[in-house]
Homo-oligomer: A and B are copies of this chain.
Amino acid sequence: MSAVAELVERTRAFVTEHVYPVEREVVAGGRVTDDALRLDLQKKAKEAGVFGPLSDPRYGGLGLDTRGQAQVLEAAGASLLGPLAVNAWAPDDGNIHLLAHVANSEQQERYLAPLASGEVRSAIALTEPAPGAGSDPRMLRTNAQETDDGWVINGAKHFTTGANGAAFTICVAMTSDGPTMFLVDQDNPGLRVGRRMPTLDHTSAPGGHCEVEFIDCEVPDSAVLGEVGRGLELAQVRLAPSRLVFCMNWLGLAVRAQQLTVEHITGRSAFGVPIAEHGIAQGLVADNEIDIAAARALVRSVAETVDVHGPASPQARHETSVAKTFVSEAVWRVLDRAVQLHGGLGVCEDHLVARFLVEARAFRIYEGPSEVLRWSIARRVLRGPR
């Protein structure tokens, strides 16, 4: 068995033994996904040797290439809390990637090291309330003024993922030289974390999606991540891997939903035979199998592209857009059929599939709505060369 295959097995066993029970407490028992829960799961993941599929061994990670991540994260994704447990959930997954590629060594030591090791969490502040930056990042309105010894940031953000309880926030703000990324410590008095937004997804990670304000928020020059004026390019560096990690995780959840469904319909009867013997139900089971197989093949194929051409290559950008669109929709279909095959129980949070469906709805929107992705995919196709 290859090292990756062995790690997949170990991850699967870890999730089954340690994460499923906690997931059930959260979904059906009202337990809140907070940092105590996170730290406990991550401690166990470290003990099981499955922590850190996205990070470098120097930070305690597993040092996998993207293809290896695809397999391991599908296993971790079998639970809503699996990716959190192994430290591969938004926004930390993308932030780890971004810092690993862009941060200078001092920043890596200060921000990446504790983040990759699970010691702290982080946030990303990009999206803004209208008329600021949403799907169109060029509408950025938060600004940073240069001062004698640093910068002063002002502006409002929302959907700031992970903000509540993070150790630091990566903030994108407009400077006179263009959009720029800043590392802002969460205890900076100019950073005000507001309301946690009541989003449909609220189970998978602590920290939520928050409203955040930067009010005369002073940061030193050393807070600039990468180069001044290149914030949107850096957001792109973050985006392709982040989209693909999403796909890996959610694919795992689709696989789980199919398993739960198969168990459910083979164990229950209606109209004289097990539900599993009704042809229309079988059709849905097959549709799920097909969607899962296509999604898995696509994720692994794109992972190879990322490994071969690099995460910031045009190929990787294009193919991760394609994968994000297909996989987010395929996963949605799978979860929706899983609910349907559970009948009335499928819309009751006693059964995991109900929560899975609601939690997954945002996947078709976050990190690029399908419509925006389709638009950009088409334009790349149309301008050739093909």
A interface with B by C-beta (< 8 Å): 28, 127, 130-131, 134-136, 138-139, 159, 197-201, 209, 258-259, 262, 265-266, 268-272, 276, 278-287, 289-290, 293-298, 300-302, 319, 322-323, 325-326, 339-341, 343-344, 346-350, 354, 357-358, 361-362, 364-366, 369-375, 377-379, 381-382, 384, 386
Contacts and interface: CB of A to CB of B under 8 A. Distances in A.
A199 B347 contact: yes
Contacts of A362: 344, 347
Contact of A289 (B139, B259, B265, B381): B381
Interface of A is mostly: helix
A213 B322 CA distance: 46
A337 to B, nearest CB: 10
Nearest to A269: B131
Given A127-B344, A279-B281, A340-B369, 7 more contacts: A197-B350, A270-B372, A283-B374, A286-B325, A289-B322, A289-B377, A344-B366
B365 A347 contact: yes
Nearest to A201: B347
A127 B343 CA distance: 11
A228 to B, nearest CB: 25
B326 A293 contact: yes
Nearest to A130: B268
Contacts of A289: 322, 377-378, 381
A199 B283 contact: no
Contact of A280 (B138, B259, B280, B358): B280
Given A322-B293, A346-B365, A378 B285 contact: yes
A279 B270 CA distance: 14
Nearest to A272: B136
Contact of A270 (B135, B357, B361, B364): B135
Nearest to A382: B276
Given A300-B297, A386-B262, A279 B278 contact: yes
A290 B131 contact: no
Contacts of A386: 259, 262
22 contacts: A131-B268, A134-B270, A136-B269, A198-B348, A200-B347, A200-B354, A262-B381, A270-B372, A276-B382, A279-B375, A280-B375, A283-B378, A286-B373, A286-B374, A289-B377, A297-B300, A297-B302, A300-B301, A340-B369, A340-B370, A344-B362, A347-B362
A381 B365 CA distance: 24
Contacts of A384: 262
Given A197-B348, A286-B381, A301-B300, A374 B280 contact: yes
Given A270-B139, A361-B339, A378-B289, A278 B354 contact: no
Of the candidates A136, A138, A159, A293, the one having the most CB atoms from chain B within 10 angstroms of its own CB is A293
A242 B178 CA distance: 56
Given A276-B382, A289-B378, A343-B135, A349 B198 contact: yes
A357 B347 contact: no
A84 to B, nearest CB: 19
A354 B199 CA distance: 8
A262 to B, nearest CB: 6
Contact of A319 (B201, B293, B371, B374): B293
A361 B347 contact: yes
B282 A282 contact: no
A165 to B, nearest CB: 19
Given A282-B280, A283-B374, A375-B280, A365 B344 contact: yes
A289 B381 CA distance: 8
B290 A377 contact: yes
